[in-house]
Amino acid sequence: MNYTGPKVKISRKLGLELTVKSRKYTEKKPYPPGQHGQMKRKAKQSDYGKQLLEKQRLRLQFNLSEKQMRNYYKKATRLTGNTGDLLIQLIEQRLDSIITRAGLAPSIYAARQYISHGHILVNGRRVNVASYSVKVNDLISVKEKSRKLDCFKDSIRSASPPAYIELSKADFSAKFLYVPPREEIPVICEVPLVVEYYSR
């Protein structure tokens, strides 16, 4: 199941900034949540504990269910190349991820909502499935009627997409230029530990 709980709390627990709001709070309180979060001594983690933590960090950055993560891992193992890099690339090509990276949405949660509400087009056709795999040279755009909405105007104003996405602020559109190498994908995670977790 996708995570639907408090975003700030889980962000502080995992040391991530999952939403704009969580970024503001983690700057003020850069320690785990809870009454004793500030004073808590870090217990020594087992190898399994480290693997589990990194898996959770990756999963929640993309708001994936455990089943989806496992499926992406299985798909990555069937391809030729580094399993960890392929895993990240496969997840990064999801429509909700590309929309977030392009700056058409402030977070992965907002991106998923925009897709399910029918605001997003891929190559001129409406797509309402967040897990849709974007291909190289696909053009993702906001439906013309939806461009008047403040949520899109605010997001695109401060957008600064990575090199593999070409953004046109005037057209509210983004083009997926190429499948990026692992080092270009802004994911905070020790990917080899995630691979170890799933290969047990």
Q: Rounded to whole angstroms, how far apart are CA atoms 107 and 131? A: 15
**55 shares its domain with 85:** yes
Same domain, 82 and 100: no
CA angle 12–15–51, rounded 5-degree value: 120
E strand map for the chain: 120-122, 125-126, 139-142, 165-168, 173-176
Same domain, 12 and 80: yes
Q: Tell me how far CA of residue 127 lies from CA of 22, 58, 105, 123, 173, in angstroms.
A: 29, 25, 16, 10, 14
Q: What CATH number did the domain enclosing 27 receive?
A: 1.10.1050.10
Q: Which tokens belong to 194?
A: 């995630």
For residues 132 and 161, state if they share a domain.
Answer: yes
pLDDT of 200: 83
Q: What is the CATH number of the domain that holds 172?
A: 3.10.290.10
Please check whether residues 67 and 78 belong to one and the same domain.
yes
Q: Give 65-88 pLDDT, tens digit per residue.
A: 999 999 999 999 999 999 999 999
Q: Structurally, how many domains does the chain consist of? A: 2
Question: For the residues of 112-162, what is the DSSP string, one character each?
Answer: HHHHHTT-EEETTEE---TT-BPPTT-EEEE-GGGGGSHHHHHHHHT----
Q: Are 81 and 100 members of one domain?
A: no
28, pLDDT greater than 50: yes
Residue carrying the six token digits 């997926």: 176
Q: How far is CA 21 from CA 107, 160, 165, 168, 200, in A?
A: 10, 19, 25, 26, 36
Q: In this predicted model, what pLDDT tens digit does every residue of 139-161 receive, in sequence order?
A: 999 999 999 999 999 999 988 89
Task: Tell whether 194 and 148 lie within a shared domain.
Answer: no
Average confidence score pLDDT of the chain: 85
User: Are 76 and 150 part of one and the same domain?
Assistant: no
Q: Is the pLDDT of residue 33 over 80?
A: no
Dihedral sign for Cα atoms in the order 77, 82, 88, 89: negative
Least confident of 58-62, 102-106, 112-116, 126-130: 58-62
In angstroms, rounded to a whole number, what is the distance separating the alpha carbons of residues 150 and 51? 40
Q: Are residues 153 and 108 in the same domain?
A: yes
Domain limits at 56? 7-34+45-91+188-198
Give the pLDDT confidence score for residue 83 in this predicted structure: 95
